[in-house]
Structure 1
Amino acid sequence: MQEKKEINVGGQAVIEGVMMRGPDKLATAIRRKDGSIELLKTPFISITQKKKFLGLPIIRGFVSLIEMMIIGIKTLTFSANRFELDLLAEEESEGKKTKERSKTAENTANIVSYIIAFGLAFLLFGWLPYKLADWMHLSRKDILFNLFAGAIRIVFFVLYVYLISLMKDIKRLFRYHGAEHKNVNAYEHNCPLIIEKIQDWSTIHPRCGTSFIFFVLLISILIFSLVDTLVSAYILHTPVPVYLRLAYHILLLPLVSGVSYEVLKYSGKNLNHPIVKLLTVPGMALQHITTQPPDNDMIEIGLVAMKAALDMDLSEHKVKIIEE
């Protein structure tokens, strides 16, 4: 087996494209309706590298998560705007009347969609699992309570991913996710960056965000169980009420995400360790849903994004550089 590259690269799928993050750059490549490729390239250095305190273990994990959430939202918004431009152009060519939305209306719609998304996440992964555990009369048994609530969260998460994977647009997004992983796998193993050779690589990657979410779900069971036991035994001296559990468990999420980040980082460097292999099984298994086989055009999009993020030569690709 060829030696792996030391420089990490990774990213996410977006609408008709791929975003890649290199050591000091973000690059998003989009396939437009006419087949052309547009590339948005911006400098980016994590604040965890600029501020020593924010780069400490555990803390850097939560800070990086917030950074990537912000980048993810911005990148998805960018790709959605390009996709909407193509739809408007297509409707105009067919003689259909298009109604242009104001910026205010667009921003309002985005805010409402984020509120609904966070509300649904709170319901499915917060309140409902805890309420179900309480209905099962597990409040007096802290470890069993969190095992049950954690299992419910995992079931909801897997079911949610499976259901959205049945949607046509999401299935296409997952194919771009597969393109991202194939490119990263090829690069990390020093494979020639030729589309046909990149296609030979797997769509599964251990550092994927899907694995990170699974680590969060598993580690939250451990941390929440430990804290609940301490609170009920040494502070309240009674079983912890559901609403109180939920309140301080939310406050513990930065710690949970920080620990999960460190576990994911360690696992990426020690993939052959038996415990690491066991821990990565659930997340990598779920990637069989969240990544789908891409076609060559999708591979090219991922390749352009990766090359741009790593400052590699793009002359063999017909790319239009755009500025925002």
Structure 2
Amino acid sequence: MPQESRNIYGGQAVIEGVMFAGKHVNVTAVRRKNEEIQYYEVPRTTKSWVQPLKKIPLLRGVVGIIESSAKGSQHLNFSMEAYAEDETEEDAAKNGSKPVEAPKAEKKSGFSLGMVVSVAVAGVLSFIFGKLIFTAAPAALEEMLFKGLFESSIGHNLLEGLIKIILLLCYLYFISLTPLIKRLFQYHGAEHKVISAYEAGEELTVANVQKYSRLHYRCGSSFIVFTVIVGVVLYSLPIFVWQGLWDRILIRIALLPVVLGISYEVLRFTNALRDIPVLRFLGYPGLWLQLLTTKEPNNEQVEVSIASFKRMLELDGKLAESAGIKAS
């Protein structure tokens, strides 16, 4: 099937697995310690008043980010629960004791309705809190370390952006040294490879998928880089010139939704231009960051990613058919 007629899909890595977001369902596949692939399937539901907002430029980015943070947290917590269960059983086996069996009703999905809502809210709050810290801390550091170095705010904004990038790179590098996060980044690479193979019209086999790059233009890592670049440009506008540290921080917090909205549109724009040789370099900063946030996956990890994607396509098709929608 030609790439132009195919749906655009996204996903995220989870602990020992991958989640893919379909048009009608989100599916996570994780590899358990017994080598079984276990699935977590959640139909996608959007409030009627939210759907129109997702079609408005700038605003759609903020809405999509909040929604994906909420949904992604559910699937990440499912994978963490499965991983913790495997670790508990493994420890029990080593100690010669019998692990406590979880109730069957909870083993199916791992979450009650109340837990799903709580996890979704926690995911959104964590994202917002993280963005606030990442926005305020570099501004405070630049103000304390380089106050008075430049007469204009442009130089200070560039230094602030540089501090953000340094903090981000250091953070990603050091967490990538831990075995669990390294495997998470490998699954991130497996997710990208599957999407690239699908978009190229390849049959989804391990051998075919492994031929593709672990880097992808349409990635959250690229989005992070664009928030830094867009922020530097936006904060340098004369209307947003700051007078002191607290003015500077408050302006950045107030403009955070604008930065996120513009960055999302830039991400879409660079993805649309990725096949144009002269313009594809616009997406390179995001690809460079992915050298840290992705690792080359092994065949078993790619197999899990393929299983998740195929299961998502299967359920998406069934749900579309039952709703009378022609699947593409």
Category of TM-score, reference length = shorter chain: 0.7 to 0.9
Deviations for 1:67-99, whole angstroms, at most 9, x for unmatched residues? 111122221111100111111111222226789
Cα deviation for residue 272 of structure 1 reads 3.4
User: 1:196, CA displacement in angstroms?
Assistant: 1.3
Give the match's secondary structure for 1:308: helix
For residue 170 of structure 1, what is the aligned residue in structure 2?
181
What is the distance in 2 between the residues matched to 1:118 and 1:256? 13
1:78 paired residue number: 78
**Counterpart in the other structure of 1:288:** 291
Change in 2 beyond 3 A, CA 1:54/1:118:
closer
User: Structure 1 stretches of 5 or more lacking a match?
Assistant: 233-238, 314-324
Aligned-partner Cα distance in 1 for 2:314–2:82: 24
How far apart, in 1, do the equivalents of 2:210 and 2:43 lie?
A: 29
**Alignment partner of 2:33: what SS?**
coil
Kindly tell me the number of residue pairs found equivalent between the two proteins: 299
**Hey, what does 2:232 align to over in structure 1?**
221
Matched, 1:245 2:240: no
Q: Distance in 2 between matches of 1:275 and 1:230?
A: 33
Percent identity over paired residues: 33
- Normalised by the length of structure 1, the TM-score is 0.82
Q: 1:73 to 1:252 in 2, by over 3 A?
A: same
Shift of 1:125: 4.3
Give the deviation of 1:47 after TM superposition: 5.2
1:92-241 paired onto structure 2 within 5 Å? 92-95=92-95, 122-123=132-133, 125-136=135-146, 137-138=148-149, 140-226=151-237, 229-232=238-241, 240-241=243-244
- Residue 241 of structure 1 deviates from its aligned partner by 1.1
Matched residue, 1:61: 61
The letter of the residue matching 1:75 is: H
Q: Is the 8 A contact 1:23 1:45 kept in 2?
A: no
Task: Tell me the SS of whatever aligns to 2:314.
Answer: coil
The 2-side partners of 1:88 and 1:182 are apart by: 32
Contact 2:18 2:28 in 1 (8 A): yes
TM-score by length of 2: 0.81
Counterpart Cα distance in 1 of 2:47 and 2:130: 30
What RMSD, in angstroms, separates the aligned Cα atoms of the two structures?
3.2
Alpha-carbon deviations, 1:36-87, whole Å to 9, x = none? 0111112115559953244200000001011111122221111100111111
Equivalence map 1:252-291=2 (5 Å): 252-273=255-276, 276-291=279-294
1:166 partner SS: coil
C-alpha separation in 2, matches of 1:49 and 1:307: 31
Q: Is the 8 A contact 2:54 2:61 kept in 1?
A: no
Q: Is the 8 A contact 1:18 1:301 kept in 2?
A: yes
* 1:19–1:26 contact (8 Å) kept in structure 2: yes
